Amino acid sequence: MPLISFERDVGCATGSPWKLKSWNTVLKDKDHGWSPLLWVVYLGFFFIQPIADHVSLRLWLLDALGAAVFLVFYFGLFFLENPIALGHVVGMVILGLLFQPINSGACTFFIFAAAMVPFCVGTQAAAWIGVGTIGAIGAIEGWLLHIDPWTLFFSSLFPIFIGAGNTFFAERNRMNRRLRKANEEIEHLAKVAERERIARDLHDVLGHTLSVITLKAELAGKLMERDVERAEREIREVEQISRRALSDVRDAIRGYRAKGLAAELAQAKSTLESAGLTVQCDAATTVKLPAMQESVLSLAVREAVTNVMRHAQARTCRLRLEQQNGSCRLEIQDDGVGSTGPDGNGLRGMRERVEMLGGTLQRSNQSGTRLTITLPLTEVAEFERRG
């Protein structure tokens, strides 16, 4: 019998109940598809007695009217945007009650109603109550009309059998809808996380690069009258940095870095020195980092160096990378003015990346600013292996 589903709870529909769905929308429904066209053929049992007994034209017209009303209830469940589902089922039961005295094939209406009620309610308990009620109504009317045992069976017990079987399919449909909803939510969260990652990466990449370009452009402007050759060299470096920035943006969107932490530290040292700072870089050459951890530390170096150039007003900066007790430790310290304010966007994004890999980020503002990032090597390697 029909397998149908309704995304809205009965009685909770909003908007006009008379708005029709398109044909393609009905056929593409994940829960029933084109099955409404298949199962409606069972309505043919309603016409067996009129054909066998050669009933009068009046009874034929009454049966045709009953079938037409049933089809309105039946297809309304599928084609209406907001069907009053239980109302349609009750209408089918009423048709069975009205036509049972003149047409034994009216038991078909009870069967259809019992088959559909599990899909029109929200729980299995409600489905069992609905199916049992329809079976009891068919039995009571059959007993009052003294109909033959076979007709009584098809009006009472058979609807219960059909409805009981459909409670399983109805529960499966509800689980499938919950699963689809959960998958849609996961996809949405994944898209949000990816947008946040790209936003963080672009902030770090462009923030650092634009700061370097600004610094070198200002330096070239000051050298234009005193040292033209060096000014030209600075402008050429601005062009090179701009090209690298374009490549970095593409890498950020793709989600990986190929440059490496060692090259990032070297670039940071060069950038800080160009800004007039004295730089000490102590990077252990024996530190072996997984790709994900190396990418996070590279972005951290960029953000920290950008902050030093923009806000620190420092004269010296120290970069230190070492491995100790199964962890990687990166320290960036300057002797600038420091800051006691809350984390900015860049530092907040840096902290999120570090904590995502099970690490910690500490900021100290005594005698300048010191950032200390600690990442566990074993946990990151295990995370990448599982991924």
Angle at 166 between CA 162 and CA 168, to 5 degrees: 135
Q: How many structural domains is the chain composed of?
A: 2
Residues 31, 155, single domain; the answer is: yes
How far apart are alpha carbons 151 and 372 in whole angstroms?
A: 83
Q: Can you read off the two tokens belonging to residue 16?
A: 């006009």
Whether residues 182 and 270 fall in one domain: no
Residues 174, 28, single domain; the answer is: yes
pTM, two decimals, is 0.47
Instruction: Give a yes or no: residue 239 inside a domain.
Output: no
| 221: in domain | no
Residue 164 and residue 292 share a domain: no
Write the CB contacts of 369 (distance below 8 Å, at least 6 apart in sequence).
307, 308, 312, 333, 334, 336, 338, 339, 363
| Angstrom distances, CA of residue 31 to CA of 163, 168, 169, 176 | 17, 13, 10, 8
Instruction: Give the pLDDT of the chain (387 residues) as one tens digit per residue.
Output: 444 444 333 333 444 455 655 556 655 555 555 666 777 888 888 898 889 888 899 999 999 999 999 998 888 777 776 668 788 889 999 999 999 999 988 899 999 999 888 888 878 888 899 899 999 999 998 888 888 888 889 888 998 998 888 888 888 888 887 887 887 787 777 777 767 766 766 666 666 677 777 777 887 787 777 777 778 887 888 777 777 777 666 666 555 444 678 888 888 888 888 888 899 988 866 677 887 788 888 888 888 888 888 777 888 999 999 888 788 889 999 988 877 677 777 788 888 888 888 889 998 888 888 999 999 876 444 444 544
Nearest CA-CA partner of 42 in 97, 94, 113: 113
Q: Which of 132, 157, 187 is the last residue of a domain?
A: 187
CB 302 within 8 A of CB 339: no
- Angle between helix 107-120 and helix 157-223 axes, rounded to 10 deg: 30
* Residue 139 placed within a domain: yes
CB atoms within 10 A of CB 212: 26
Question: Do 45 and 145 belong together in one domain?
Answer: yes
| Structure-block tokens of residue 239 | 């062009």
**Shared domain check, 299 and 180:** no
Please return the burial class of 375, using the count of CB atoms within 10 Å of its CB with bins 0-12, 13-18 and 19+. Answer: buried
Which residue range forms the structural domain that includes residue 168? 23-187
Domain assignment present for residue 5? The answer is no
> Of 144, 170, 187, at which residue does a domain stop?
187
- The answer to whether residue 169 is domain-embedded is yes
Whole-number Å distance between alpha carbons of 258 and 298: 10
176 and 53 housed in the same domain? yes
| DSSP bridge partners of 317 | 279, 334
Burial string for 17-34 (b: 16+ CB within 10 Å, else e) reads eeeeeeeeebeebebbee
Is 317 exposed, middle or buried, given 0-12, 13-18 or 19+ CB atoms closer than 10 A? buried
How confident is the model at residue 81, as a pLDDT? 63
Q: What is the model's pLDDT at position 93?
A: 92
Q: Are 302 and 338 in contact (CB under 8 A)?
A: no
Residue 353 within any structural domain of the chain: yes
Last residue within a domain, chosen from 187, 204, 231: 187
**Other Cβ atoms within 10 Å of 222 Cβ, number:** 12
What is d(CA 153, CA 159) in angstroms, rounded to the nearest whole number? 9
Residue in 116, 95, 120, 117 with CA at minimum distance from that of residue 107? 95
* Residues 172, 292 share a domain: no
CA distance 270 to 48: 93
- Write the single-letter amino acid at 219: L
Shared-domain flag, residues 51 and 143: yes
Query: How many residues comprise the chain?
Result: 387
The answer to the question of residue 220 being in a domain is no
Tell me how far the alpha carbon of residue 61 is from its chain's centroid: 53
Say whether both 265 and 183 belong to one domain. no
Q: Does any domain span residue 213?
A: no
| Alpha carbon distance 246, 238 (integer Å) | 12
Cβ atoms 161, 113 nearer than 8 A:
no
Give me the CATH number covering residue 322.
3.30.565.10
Q: Rounded to an integer, what distance in angstroms lies between the CA atom of residue 277 and that of residue 197?
A: 31
Same-domain status, 56 and 144:
yes
51 and 137 part of one domain = yes
